[in-house]
A and B are shown apart, each in its own frame.
Chain A
Amino acid sequence: MTYTGSCHCELPDAAATEALGARLAGACGDDGLVVYLHGELGSGKTTLVRGLLHALGHAGRVRSPTYTLVEPYELGARSVYHFDLYRLADPEELEFMGIRDFLDPAALLLVEWPEKGAGWLPPAELDLSLAYADGGGRSARLAAAGARGEAVLARL
C-alpha cells in the first residue's frame, strides 16, 4: 500500500487519545472508511475507538472486542464495526466469521491488529499507529491512501 499523505501528533494522556478519536469521527463526515489501528498492547487503540464512538453519539460502554472479534454499532444510519483480530490464528478465520457481511462501503471499519487478517481485509484508507512516547504518553502517526482517506486526513 502506498500512502500519499501523513501526519504525526503527540498524545500526552488517555484523554488526548480519546480526543483524537473524536476528531477522527468529525473528519469522517457521513462517509464510510477503512481504518487500520496499529500499536502494542496498552498503546490506546480501544481508547481511541471509545473517543470516536462517543463523538458519533454512542452513549453506552465501548467494550474491547478482543474476545468477540467484532463489536457492531448502529449509530443513526451509520454502521460502525470495531474489529480486534488479535486472537486470529489464521487470516482465513475471517471467512468463517462472515467477514464479507461487514464489508459495506458505507460502514466505518476500525480494525485492530489488521496484520492478522492480511489478504482477507480491504486495504486501509487511513492507517493509524500508536506508539509509546517518553514520559508515559503516546504518539500517533496517521497515513492516508485513496480519495476518501486523503479527504479525512485533510479535514483532520
Chain B
Amino acid sequence: MIVLGIETSCDETGVALYAHDRGLLAHVLYSQVALHAEYGGVVPELASRDHVRKAVPLLREVFRAAGLASGAVDGVAYTAGPGLVGALMVGAALGRSLAWAWGVPALGVHHLEGHLLAPLLEPEPPAFPFVALLVSGGHTLLVDVAGVGRYRVLGESVDDAVGEAFDKTAKLLGLPYPGGPELARLAEHGDPARFSFPRPMTDRPGLDFSFSGLKTFALNTLHGLAGSAQDRADVARAFEDAVVDTLAIKCRRAVKATGTRRLVVAGGVGANRRLRVRLTELMQELGGGAYYPRPAFCTDNGAMIALAGCLRLTAGQAEDLAIRATARWPLDGLEAPAAG
C-alpha cells in the first residue's frame, strides 16, 4: 500500500509518499524545493502560512520524485490536529478531497503521533515499547509508547515549550528570532562554571516541565551584567546546561519508571548537540539506547504523517467523508488500530 501524507499544522507544508513494503519513496518540504519559478518570482514572507499556494506544486514534485503517476496511491493521510485550525483545514480539505477523487481511503492523523513514530523511518528503528521525548518549538512531552496508537503522556510543559524557551532566551541575548541554534553556538564559548541556573521542577516527583522561569532567570542575570560578548556566552551556556540537565533528569526518571531500554528523541530541539551527547550517555549508563530521527524528520514533515497513516490504513482503519481539523486533540485519546 502506498500512502500520500500531507502536513500543514503550523508553518511547514510537507508532503510525502510511503509504501508499507518499501518504506519512504519521496518527501518534500516547502523550504527544500525551488518553487520560485512556479510562483513566478520570490515567495513573499507573508505567505509563510499560506499552505494553499504551496500544496499543489509540492504534490506534483513528490509524485515526480517518487516516479509515480499523479494519484497512484492506495490511501491519503493528512494531519488533522492539533494545530492552527486554519492551517490544518488546508491539508485536511485537500487530503480528504484527493482521496475521494482518487477513490481511496483517507485518514486524519495526530500530528504528535507522526513525531513519535518518525524514528521508524530510519534504517535501524527502535522496537516497541519505548519512551519518547518530544522537544520542539511548540511541544515538550515525555510519552510512553507501547505501540501504534498506544500512548500514555508521562509529562509535559506547563508553560513554554523548550524550543520556545531557547528562542526567547536567544532574543534576550540579542540574537535574531528564532535563535535556538545560534544560542547553542554562543554557548560553546561560555564558561559553564560562572552561572548556575535552576533546574525547574526537578526537586519534586513527577515528569512535568516548566521553562518559562528559565527565560526570566536569564533576563535577571543579564540585568546585572555589562553585557560583554563573554557575559552573553556564559549566560547562554548556563541556560543550555540547565535545559539539558533538566531534560536528562526527567528522561532518567521516565525510563526507570517504565522499565524500557529505549529512548526516542524527536522534535527540532532533538538536534541540539549537547542534548544528544547527554542523552546518549544516559542511555548507555542505563544499559539501553537513544534513538534520533534524522534532523529533517525531527522538525515538521510529511514523511511522518505518511508513515503513521500507512500503519493505520494497512490495519484497515479509514474514515467517512468528513474533513477533520481539530485545534485541540489529546494524544492520550488515540486508540490503536484494530488489527495493530
Which residues of A are interface residues toward B (Cβ below 8 A)? 41-42, 46-47, 50, 61-64, 66-70, 72, 86-87, 89-90, 92-93, 96-98, 101, 136
B106-160, CB < 8 A from A: 137-138, 156-160
Contact B86 A42, beta carbon cutoff 8 Å: no
Nearest A residue to B160 via CB reads A64
Q: With a CB–CB cut-off of 8 A, which chain B residues contact A50?
A: 159
B83-98, CB < 8 A from A: 83-87, 89
Of B49, B85, B216, B328, which one neighbours A93 at CB under 8 angstroms?
B49
Which residues of B are interface residues toward A (Cβ below 8 A)? 10, 44-50, 83-87, 89, 137-138, 156-161, 163-164, 167-168, 171-172, 177, 212, 215-216, 219-220, 327-328
Contact B212 A89, beta carbon cutoff 8 Å: no
Contact A42 B159, beta carbon cutoff 8 Å: no
Contact B84 A68, beta carbon cutoff 8 Å: yes
Contact A42 B161, beta carbon cutoff 8 Å: no
Q: List 14 A-B contacts (CB under 8 A).
A: A41-B168, A42-B168, A50-B159, A61-B157, A62-B159, A63-B161, A67-B137, A68-B84, A72-B328, A90-B44, A92-B46, A93-B46, A98-B89, A101-B86
User: Would you give the shortest CB distance from B85 to chain A, in whole angstroms?
Assistant: 7
User: Would you give the shortest CB distance from A120 to chain B, in whole angstroms?
Assistant: 11
Contact B328 A96, beta carbon cutoff 8 Å: no
User: Would you give the shortest CB distance from A65 to chain B, in whole angstroms?
Assistant: 10
Q: With a CB–CB cut-off of 8 A, which chain B residues contact A97?
A: 49, 84, 86-87
Chain B interface, >50% SS class? helix
Contact B49 A64, beta carbon cutoff 8 Å: no
Nearest B residue to A47 via CB reads B212
CA of A120 to CA of B131 in the docked complex: distance in angstroms? 43
Contact B164 A67, beta carbon cutoff 8 Å: yes
Q: Residue among A46, A68, A70, A136 with the most chain B CB within 10 A?
A: A68
Contact A41 B172, beta carbon cutoff 8 Å: yes
Contact B157 A63, beta carbon cutoff 8 Å: yes
Q: With a CB–CB cut-off of 8 A, which chain B residues contact A62?
A: 159
Q: With a CB–CB cut-off of 8 A, which chain A residues contact B86?
A: 96-98, 101
CA of A89 to CA of B44 in the docked complex: distance in angstroms? 10
CA of A70 to CA of B10 in the docked complex: distance in angstroms? 11
Contact A67/B161 with A46-B212, A101-B86 known, Cβ cut-off 8 Å? yes
Contact B220 A72, beta carbon cutoff 8 Å: no
CA of A90 to CA of B43 in the docked complex: distance in angstroms? 13
Q: 8 closest Cβ contacts across the A-B interface? A: A67-B138, A98-B86, A90-B46, A89-B45, A42-B216, A42-B219, A97-B86, A96-B49
